[in-house]
Structures are given as structure tokens and as C-alpha cells.
Amino acid sequence: QVQLVESGGGVVQPGRSLRLSCATSGFSFNTYTMHWVRQAPGKGLEWVALISYDGSNKYYADSVKGRFTISRDNSNNTLYLQMNSLRSEDTAVYYCARVSVEQWQRLWFDYWGQGTLVTVSS
Amino acid sequence: DIVMTQSPDSLAVSLGERATFNCKSSQSVLSTSNNKNYLAWYQQKPGQPPKVLISWASTRVSGVPDRFSGSGSGTDFTLSITSLQAEDVAVYYCQQYYYTPITFGGGTKVEIK
């Protein structure tokens, strides 16, 4: 069955970096666009970034552009989010999510990981 | 960016009664090329990731109970739950996937009256 498992979250000081991973299994990872979505404590959902199935296209929310980098390793079925210059407002649960149809960049998300909590605090 | 506005923020409904809530987009999410509305609805329970209920504004995802239904077109959308069950207590989000950035509404919290 399809599984998405995030890791790499934790407590980090403002200005520091963190790298999140999303290990996937149960589907052809290299044919699906993947996204990161975050949720601040007690708040709603915020889209963060997407990467196309082949890694050729990447898009970011304005709030993270220039600080976060999305990438993928199709040989290891893993998605990444490199987060630099972290701010307190980046504190959130970060979810990786799969687009529902192969090769489409923007659709609904049919599978989500359980999320990993990133806390940015001094 | 497309702003998705959900109303109300919260809703208390008796068991077995109907719950209806709304989502409005700041621009149309109806594609003229395929006549589809690029809108989804999700349910999120505490401590869990969101779960998709409805795609293309009105198509129930496989396995979703038929008491959930979506309607609307263009900029105005509705999610209805007929005969609310205890397990339907959750926050419901709409999402547009027509434009980048993808955007979500702020959510509607459904509780039992």
C-alpha cells in the first residue's frame, strides 16, 4: 500500500537550517508530482512547494521562496525539503503529499504522510 | 494568489441533521477547456493528516460515504453532510488546484450540538 513517512523535524533556533525527508513506498514515485504542505499549531493548511515527477519543475509559496528548496531522489523514492534561514513563523507540522494522478502537477492530494513537527525557537 | 474563504468558521449540528458549509474563491476555478472546477474538499480530524472527500467540486472520492456531497461552480462551492454522524466531527477545508500557488480555505469546524 502507499506509504509516505516524514522525518527530520525538531527544535531549531531562528536562522538555522533543517532538512526534512519523506520516504515513500507502494507506488511508482518517479511518475508522481509531490508537494509539501504545512500546518502551524491550531491553524489551517498552507501549501509550501511542489516538485514535478522528474524534478524539472519546482514552485514555492512566496513565504518560503529563496529560503526553502524542494528536491527528490527518484532512485531512493524520497522527497526532501531543505529549510534555511528558519523563522518562528515556519513553526508547523510539515506534511508531504502525493498528487492524485500521475504526471499532473496540480490536483487534489490523495495520500499524505503523518507529518513532522518543526519548531523554530530560541 | 487565489484566496479561498470558508464560512462559517464553525458549525454545531445535531446528530442525524444536515450540515452545510461554504467556500468562495477570489477568482473562478472553472476551466473553460474541460468544464471542470478545480476544487477539492478535505476532512481533518485531530492529530491526523487531511483526507480528501471530494474532487472536481462534486465528485466523491472512492470510499467516501454518500452522505458527503459537493456542489457549486466558478467561485462558489458548498459541502453538505446529510445525516451527520459522530465520526464526522472534524475540520473541513476546501482547496483550489487550478492556480499555483495552491491555496486552501481557512476551514470550517463541525461539532455536535
Is A29 strand, coil or helix? helix
Residue A105 has pLDDT above 90, yes or no: no
On whether any CB of chain B is under 8 Å from the CB of A110, the answer is yes
pLDDT in the model for residue A6:
98
> What does DSSP say about strands B108-112 and B10-13: parallel, antiparallel, or unpaired?
parallel
pLDDT in the model for residue B59:
97
A and B: number of Cβ contacts within 8 A: 56
Low-confidence ranges of chain B (pLDDT < 70): none
Nearest to A95 among B49, B95, B105 (CB): B49
Q: Does B101 contact A95 at a Cβ distance shorter than 8 Å?
A: no
- Round to whole Å and give the CA distance between B77 and B58: 9
- Round to whole Å and give the CA distance between A49 and A36: 5
Is A31 strand, coil or helix? helix
- Round to whole Å and give the CA distance between A41 and B89: 19
Q: Does A50 contact B50 at a Cβ distance shorter than 8 Å?
A: no
- Round to whole Å and give the CA distance between A57 and A51: 6
Residue A72 has pLDDT above 90, yes or no: yes
pLDDT in the model for residue A101:
87
- Round to whole Å and give the CA distance between B109 and A64: 28
Q: What is the CA radius of gyration of chain B?
A: 13
pLDDT in the model for residue A106:
85
DSSP conformation letters of B58-74:
TEEPTT--TTEEEEEET
Q: Does A115 contact B106 at a Cβ distance shorter than 8 Å?
A: no
Q: Does B50 contact A109 at a Cβ distance shorter than 8 Å?
A: yes
Nearest to B38 by CA among A23, A104, A53: A104
Going by the DSSP 8-state scheme, the letter that residue A90 receives in this structure is: G
Averaged pLDDT, A29-50 = 97
